[in-house]
Chain A
Amino acid sequence: MHNIIKYEFKGQIKNIIGMFVILSFVNLVILYYSKVLTIQGSVALTFVTGFAAFIAVLIAGIQTFTRDLYDDTGYLLYQTPTKGIYIVGGKIIFSVIQVIFLTLISFLFMLPYILKADNLPYPTFSSMVYMGIVCVFIYSFLLLSIYFSAAVSKLIAKSKKWGTLSGFLIFIIFWTLFGKIGDFLGNIFNYSINFNIFILKNAYMSFTAPSISLNIAYMVFEIVVFILLLMGVSYIIEQKIDL
Chain B
Amino acid sequence: MDTILKAENVTKKYLNKTALDSMNLSVEKGKVMGLLGPNGSGKTTFLKIAAGLLTKNSGTVEINGVPVGRETKAFVSYLPDKQFLYKWMKIKDAFDYYQDFFNDFNRDKAVKLLKFMNLDESMKVSALSKGMTEKLLLSLCLSRNSKLYLLDEPLGGVDPVTREKILDAILDNYSEDSSIIITTHLVSDIERLFDSVSFIQDGKIVLEGNAEELRNERSMSIDEIYREVFKDA
Contact = CB atoms under 8 A, between A and B. Distances in A.
B230 interface: no
A95 B84 CA distance: 23
A10 B84 CA distance: 17
B86 A73 contact: yes
A73 B53 contact: no
Contacts of A81: 70-71, 73-74, 101-102
Interface string B83-109: 111101000010001001110000000
Interface string A66-86: 000000111110111111100
B70 A242 contact: no
Contact of A241 (B53, B83, B100): B53
A72 B83 contact: yes
A73 B85 contact: yes
Contacts, number: 65
Interface in A157-202: 158
Contacts of B131: none
A79 B78 contact: yes
A112 interface: no
B89 to A, nearest CB: 8
Given A6-B100, A83-B70, A243-B48, A75 B84 contact: yes
A11 B88 contact: yes
Nearest to A67: B86
A20 interface: no
Contacts of A242: 53-55
Interface in A50-65: none
B84 A73 contact: yes
B100 A3 contact: yes
B28 to A, nearest CB: 23
24 contacts: A6-B100, A7-B86, A14-B88, A72-B83, A73-B85, A73-B86, A75-B82, A75-B84, A76-B85, A76-B86, A76-B97, A78-B52, A78-B53, A79-B51, A81-B73, A82-B70, A158-B14, A239-B69, A241-B52, A241-B54, A242-B53, A242-B54, A242-B55, A243-B53
The 5 closest A-B CB pairs, nearest first, are A75-B84, A80-B101, A81-B73, A81-B74, A72-B82
Interface of A: 3, 6-7, 10-11, 14, 72-76, 78-84, 158, 238-243
Given A75-B80, A81-B73, A158-B14, 18 more contacts: A7-B97, A11-B86, A11-B88, A72-B82, A73-B85, A74-B84, A75-B78, A78-B52, A78-B53, A79-B52, A81-B71, A81-B74, A83-B70, A84-B70, A241-B52, A242-B53, A242-B55, A243-B48
